[in-house]
A and B are shown apart, each in its own frame.
Chain A
């Protein structure tokens, strides 16, 4: 448009230019509108894995008759939380490849379809509607943030599409309906494991809590407080201070000063690696002897990169440990690292297992019919890389935890 204008400037008189300029702008606007409408109408053609260069679809045409089984991965692929969404997509692709190499499911190839919700509720609502309108999607792996899941899940439930979120942590999420599952542990169990580390393994009594101001962070911190009052009441441990902080602020010194003044000797960090890394660094400047206990969603290679020496000694319970000697996990970690250049995180591995479970359920049901697959999912006991997984009656999972400590910049399993 710019170039055309320049050309016109030479040929036309002022008056003509003015008119043509306007005409051009309007035409441009109209054509953009038309393009937009055409694109919207074509809802059944989302970005497929072919377009994204995914490995799943580079396989030659399916040997069996019929279309591929399509599974959607809906998560942030761009923007602030793209790292997580891309991890989900990679994991799902890897699992689909594994199945495809063995002939797919029900004799059909598996296709992973990528949807970008940009981590926005508004987008997610559109995406969910799009997936539902599509009609060929056998199930959805995803939505990353809890708030986003809360918007999308009712749409799936209403239209009877299975959604398995590898990350949602909103307490009310899985209660939305029987088609809504989550392959992320219930916070109570995990919080109890963290407290076990702090009180029994480390032998600390004065507990400080630092929690991010999100549904997950607040909920986790409250559960930790309840556990101290109840289950761990006899251990003599007390909470000396609780500090809520904004997610993603880099300076935690006010909170740390307060925790230190209250005399905490162990800090339970309710947050992602972006909280644990800086807190470890800044706390150890003030008090080098502080012990830090975190949760499984801080388990990521980036924690070590970001925290450096300061995160040595940080402990947390995880359901997935990439350094494990288990041959299945070892093979998975190696393939993933070879293909995508970094080790899979806990959430990514949960996405990997979620895809596996969905496929397993489809196989058991003998069809991609949602109602049948859903029933199979409840029955399924799946030995995945994130432990043996079994959904309970509302679609939550309970898993066993492995305790991990960072030693010399490496994750080490504690036995």
Chain B
């Protein structure tokens, strides 16, 4: 299976792209399209958390908080200031990233369980602030009539599939950011911190600086997901962003496979679609969620799609060119 996937990587991705682009043309019901959009949103959230948990090794149980900040910031901007969705999305992502940066500051001194509880507390505090800061957030009444994204005078809705394509675009954007980040020097620093923080410090990596950076990126992505989520749903209140959301996001990351990107899409697809098909399970559904976590950890902690990509190590481009040149030089000398 793995070798199959690695071998036909390009055709598989191409087929996936064609299917995803063509899906709405099949005349699916709005209900199905909405589920696909939710899968997209949770893929983004999982990709964001994956940067932090999968690559940098810091567990966050407060991502619902970032999700909420992004949703509230962008909704407030579009409702009160009438900003275009592009601006409010960017603002939502940036302000959330700033919050992530601030939350990341304690990581200079904390790690492991301590950090986890701080993020968990952060999630609860965000909810509490949204509930009590009535003048701005409208408190328990929530925000309603959140305008749909408007592109050149056209409202993007479920019915005209605009939201679906916007979702695809955002997922693509987030995935691209993740790929670029992970393959860069920064990404290698993240992975080094995850593998062995002490060794990473010895190698001259400023571990806390990179941990904070990871927090900021992770939060920013969650904020973007939130900014997109708000207009899709149309109404948000503090009860939308409870601890269960944080648990769901981390479950997706675990199920898909920490430190892989493909796992996030699959994890989101399974966990979001599962309750839709598992209605016959009724109450037992939540029990099954728990079982999934326990069984995965016991038998396949690396996640469903968590195998190592067998890419040979490539030297950076400039080094390669320099080597080639030297080789050519030597050949000429000889």
Contacts and interface: CB of A to CB of B under 8 A. Distances in A.
Q: Do chains A and B touch in the complex (CB under 8 A)?
A: yes
Interface of A: 1-2, 5, 19, 21-23, 25-29, 32-33, 35-41, 43, 46-47, 51, 77-79, 82, 116, 118, 120-123, 125-126, 129-130, 132-133, 145, 147, 150-151, 154, 170, 172, 213-215, 217-219
B173 to A, nearest CB: 23
A46 B274 contact: no
A2 B291 CA distance: 12
Interface in B162-184: none
A133 B273 contact: no
B6 to A, nearest CB: 12
B286 interface: yes
Given A2-B299, A33-B269, A78 B277 contact: no
A125 B32 contact: no
Per CB-CB distance, the 5 closest pairs between chain A and chain B, nearest first, are: A39-B277, A36-B273, A133-B29, A129-B31, A147-B237
Contacts, number: 125
Interface string B240-277: 10000000000000000000000000100110011111
A150 B144 contact: yes
Contact of A218 (B141, B236, B307): B141
A41 B32 contact: yes
Nearest to B285: A78
B31 A150 contact: no
Interface string B29-52: 111101100100000000000000
B239 A147 contact: yes
5 contacts: A26-B305, A27-B1, A41-B32, A147-B235, A213-B132
B266 A33 contact: yes
Contact of B270 (A29, A38, A147): A29
Given A121-B240, A154-B234, A46 B279 contact: yes
B30 A132 contact: yes
Given A33-B270, A40-B32, 14 more contacts: A22-B1, A36-B270, A36-B277, A41-B32, A43-B32, A82-B283, A122-B233, A125-B233, A126-B276, A147-B235, A147-B240, A215-B140, A215-B237, A219-B141
B24 interface: no
A122 B38 contact: yes
B300 interface: yes
A404 to B, nearest CB: 27
Contact of B273 (A2, A5, A33, A219): A33
A116 B5 CA distance: 38
A121 B232 CA distance: 11
Contacts of A82: 283
B18 interface: no
Contact of B139 (A22, A32, A40, A213): A213
Q: Helix, strand, loop or mixed for chain B's interface?
A: helix
Contacts of A130: 31
A32 B285 CA distance: 14
Contacts of A133: 29-31
Contacts of A78: 282-283, 285-286
Interface string B213-241: 00000000000000000000111110110
B147 interface: no
A130 B279 CA distance: 13
Contacts of B240: 120-122, 147
Contacts of A29: 266, 270, 304-305
Contact of B142 (A43, A215, A219): A215
B14 interface: no
Nearest to B39: A36
A23 B307 CA distance: 11
B295 interface: yes
B306 to A, nearest CB: 9
Interface of B: 1-2, 28-32, 34-35, 38, 131-132, 139-142, 144, 158, 233-237, 239-240, 266, 269-270, 273-277, 279-280, 282-283, 285-286, 295, 299-300, 304-305, 307
A133 B31 CA distance: 7
Given A26-B1, A37-B273, A121-B237, A116 B140 contact: no
A170 B141 contact: yes
Contact of A126 (B31, B237, B307): B31
B31 A43 contact: yes
Contacts of B280: 47, 51
Interface centre among B1, B139, B269 (most CB of A within 10 A): B1
Interface centre among B2, B132, B239 (most CB of A within 10 A): B239
A214 B286 CA distance: 25
B140 A213 contact: yes
A47 B281 CA distance: 10
Nearest to A5: B299
Nearest to B128: A246
Contacts of A214: 140
A40 B273 contact: yes
A46 B31 CA distance: 13
A116 B279 contact: yes
Nearest to A2: B299
A133 B139 CA distance: 33
B120 to A, nearest CB: 17
B89 to A, nearest CB: 19
A19 B307 CA distance: 11
A25 B235 contact: no
A32 B131 CA distance: 38
B139 A218 contact: yes
A9 to B, nearest CB: 11
A125 B235 CA distance: 10
Contacts of B139: 213, 218
Contacts of A172: 144
A79 B286 contact: yes
A299 B33 CA distance: 41
B34 A32 contact: no
A41 B280 CA distance: 16
A44 to B, nearest CB: 9
Interface centre among B31, B240, B279, B283 (most CB of A within 10 A): B31
Contacts of B274: 32, 36
